[in-house]
Amino acid sequence: MTKSQNIKVFVINGPNLNLLGIRAPEIYGTETLADVEVMLEAKAKDIGATLSFYQSNHEGQLIDWIHVARTQADGIIINAGGYTHTSIALRDAIEAIALPTFEVHISDIHAREDYRKKSFISEVAVKMICGQGTKGYSLALNELVDHCRASR
């Protein structure tokens, strides 16, 4: 697939990511979710991707968007927030749709509290990017687009 063949990506953010920039800035930084979206849009334009952004604090809504992605996207970038460590339902939804999914975490979940070290999402994701700050979203976008192009 060439750059001219657009890759459609759903960027899904889970609970409390709407508070990015004000919640625990010493862990998550001061950039807002809107800042992340602007950064990703610029990157997407450069690499030939189209993005759709979603954020919810509700697990069922996240699952519904994953289901929609099955027919409307080539891949998913997801930061499931706290649901990363608790939601088998999100894990199962990602597995069921069989789209390449890249998991992102702003902080290094492996260097945090014990309960944050287990990710159900990573069991079905192509790759997890964590501990890179909001730059992790951009890294995930690059790798997801490359992955999609290589798979066609």
CB-CB contact of 12 with 66 (8 Å):
yes
Of 28, 54, 83, 137, the catalytic one is 28
Q: In the annotation, is 67 catalytic?
A: no
Of 54, 83, 105, 137, the catalytic one is 105
Angle between helices 88-97 and 59-72 (to 10 degrees): 10
CB-CB contact of 13 with 21 (8 Å):
no
Secondary structure of 113-137 in the HEC alphabet?
CHHHCCCCHHHCCCEEEECCCCHHH
Q: In the annotation, is 105 catalytic?
A: yes
Which residues are part of the catalytic machinery?
28, 105
